Amino acid sequence: MKLDSNKVKNLLQLSEQYKGKNNQKAKDLSLEAIKLGQKINWVARYPELFLNLIKINSTMSNYSENLSILDSTFKYTGKKSDCVCYTAEYYIQYLFNYSYSRNYEKAYEYGIKGLKIAEETKNYNQIARANLRLGEVKQNLNDYEGAIKNYEKSIELCKKYNFESILNQNRWMLAKVYISKDDYNKASILQKEMTTSYRKLKDSTQLAGALNAIAFGHIKYFRFKEAKVYLEEAYGIAHKVNNKYFLQYICIGLGKSFMSENKIEIAKKYIDEGFKIAAELNDKDALTTLTSDLAHYYFVIRDFPKAFYTETQISKIYGNARSKQVINSVSDAETKYQTEKKEKMILMQKLQISKQRNWILGIIGIAFVAVLGSLLFYTKRQAKQKAHFDAEKLKLQTEKTSAIVEAEEKERIRLAKELHDGVGPILSLAKFQLENAMNQTKFKSIEQESLFQNTNTMIDDAAREIRTVSHDLMPNALLMQGLVSAIREFVNRLSLSGKVKVSLDVANLDERLPQLTETVLYRVLQELVGNVIKHSGATSVQIQLVRHENELTMMVEDNGKGFDTSQMSIFKGIGLKNIISRIDFLNGKVNFDSSPNSGTTVIVEVPLS
């Protein structure tokens, strides 16, 4: 018995295994499977064979080739196919490839067709993917709210039916939306989940793209050093799997990162490599960015003729397409103007005819407007008074909170001084006198001498405890040298205690903050780390302190047992309430990200202006 159909299946499976790791090898196996399938006239499975090739081409950015394959093989998805799902799948592939070819109108048209069939057949995998790609189209058209709705529909299905790969793509695209909306915290959480998942799935192609996406999030906030770490890993992976689409954008990121370090020749190397790939793929977005980066390079090396010439090439990349858009826009505007002009003429004629009849209604209208005006004036006055009252109430609340915080700090300072200057010297004197007594006493037994020694040790322990408590209440480093020095001293003491391993990263905090802000942030950090030590069972804690242009971010991350954030109200004891109220006083916000057995991340954001 011939086993040709099994050979085709095996070739398809091999092709799937190579996809994302060695795309050219995957494509060769896919073409071999198609050739054998055509030889045995296995028409019912033609769509499956061609869809496999299309998906491999997508990882290699061969979108034009894919559209040709779809057009020439769509006929096999109908009656000749043994599965109606192939028709919906073809529509979804049309959606994807038209979208990445920047033909969003066609992409959306085919996407709606595919979604309709998928919903009729209750194919939840296809429904999830169609919503994902439709969201991507809306995102490219800057309809962010519409895109979020599609992504959330897709994410709901992915979590329900465990579509991990599609879930990651949703995380990817939704993170880009949040970055566009300057909500970097939400984007960061999604990107972290995505890269963790891709590493578990060992999906090299998508991991390269995910790392690149994270890097560009850092670049947007001028964190070039952090971005470069992700980009260099992504660069190695993209080269290994020959993913040119991601590689051109990775080169853009590396060029910008090395430019920021003034390593301009290394930057030029990556810009040239990105140019070569973008020209080969005819990716106009990438070419535009790379041309702009190249012009910047020429400005840096002071080759101004080349710099100005390169800048003039940017407008030529889209050339005719942009001209066409302008012409269409002008034409649309002219049509709209002429229509409005005719409608205005008709309206004037109607007004002229009804002029005599409407004068009575006009008088009634004037009276009505007068009454309405009085009512509006009264309402506006009431609203103004309420706004004034609310402002005074807020001011009073702020002053009250400020007074409480200041009173707490004064009391801490008083207690610290009392302990350090009062109790401390008394213990030192007691120790001195005890040691004198020990030196002058002839002990009758070892037990008697041991009793004196133990008492001396207890006084030492008490003195050390007094110093520690006094220092915790008001560290000198906080008063004299500022927040960063106080936190470093705090971290060093924790590390020496051996209770937990603590690491600290500080960026852009060379200048001191207002004293009250530094004090509140130090207290909040003490409370957060204290909670970690007391409740989480963590072995390590990471603290990050980053100053941005108008905001300071403090992050505390541990590897402890975590907790369910949906049950936050249960855990809101005095400690958490203190943290939240103190940050509220600084007009900041606190975000808790945790789940059972997954550690806890707390992000504090405080405005600086």
On whether the CB atoms of residues 225 and 215 are closer than 8 A, the answer is: no
Q: Is the pLDDT of residue 277 over 80?
A: yes
Q: Is the pLDDT of residue 189 over 70?
A: yes
Q: What is the pLDDT of residue 318?
A: 53
Nearest to 204 by CA among 242, 177, 232, 158: 242
Q: What is the pLDDT of residue 242?
A: 85
Q: Is the pLDDT of residue 319 over 60?
A: no
Q: Is the pLDDT of residue 437 over 90?
A: no
Q: What is the pLDDT of residue 507?
A: 87
Buried b (16+ CB within 10 A) or exposed e, 571-606: eeeeebeebbebbebbebebeebbeeeebbbbbbbb
Percent of the chain residues past pLDDT 70, beyond the cut: 75
Per-residue CA distances from 493 to 360, 469, 502 (Å): 86, 12, 10
Per-residue CA distances from 506 to 228, 484, 498, 542 (Å): 18, 8, 22, 11
Q: What is the pLDDT of residue 322?
A: 39
pTM recorded for the entire structure: 0.45
HSE (CB half, 13 Å, CA atoms) of 342?
A: 5
Q: Is the pLDDT of residue 307 over 70?
A: yes
Q: How far apart are CA 59 and CA 245, in angstroms?
A: 8
On whether the CB atoms of residues 560 and 538 are closer than 8 A, the answer is: yes
The least confident of 5-14, 109-118, 149-158, 373-382 is 373-382
The least confident of 264-278, 453-467, 541-555 is 453-467
**Alpha-helical segments (H) within 498-556:** 515-531
End-to-end Cα distance, the chain: 80
Q: How far apart are CA 401 and CA 423, in angstroms?
A: 31
On whether the CB atoms of residues 209 and 228 are closer than 8 A, the answer is: no
Tens digits of per-residue pLDDT, 216-244? 878 877 888 888 999 999 999 998 888 88
Q: Is the pLDDT of residue 582 over 90?
A: no
In the three-class reduction of DSSP (H, G, I as helix; E, B as strand; rest coil), residue 162 is classed as: coil
Tens digits of per-residue pLDDT, 473-505? 556 566 667 788 888 888 888 877 777 888 888
Q: What is the pLDDT of residue 328?
A: 43
Enter the DSSP assignment of 512. P
Burial class (CB in 10 A: 0-12, 13-18, 19+), 502: buried
Tens digits of per-residue pLDDT, 585-598? 788 888 888 888 88
pLDDT band at 459 (very low <50, low <70, confident <90, very high): confident
On whether the CB atoms of residues 549 and 605 are closer than 8 A, the answer is: no
Q: How far apart are CA 544 and CA 507, in angstroms?
A: 8
Hey, what are 188's tokens? Answer: 């960061």
Q: What is the pLDDT of residue 432?
A: 60
Q: Is the pLDDT of residue 408 over 50?
A: yes
The least confident of 23-37, 176-190, 273-287, 356-370 is 356-370
Residues 6+ apart with CB under 8 A from 44: 80, 81, 82
pLDDT band at 323 (very low <50, low <70, confident <90, very high): very low
Q: What is the mean pLDDT of the chain?
A: 79
Mean pLDDT within 278-307: 83
- What single string gives the DSSP state of each residue in 193-217? HHHHHHHHHT-HHHHHHHHHHHHHH
Name the residue with higher pLDDT: 321 or 15.
15
Nearest to 29 by CA among 39, 19, 20: 19
Q: How far apart are CA 45 and CA 329, in angstroms?
A: 46
The least confident of 77-81, 161-165, 391-395, 451-455 is 391-395
Q: Is the pLDDT of residue 247 over 70?
A: yes
**Cα angle for residues 53, 107, 151 (degrees, 5° grid):** 95
Hey, what are 542's tokens? Answer: 């990471």
Q: What is the pLDDT of residue 477?
A: 60
Q: What are phi and psi of 83, to 5 degrees?
A: -150, 120
pLDDT band at 397 (very low <50, low <70, confident <90, very high): low
Q: What is the pLDDT of residue 273?
A: 94
Q: What is the pLDDT of residue 421?
A: 52
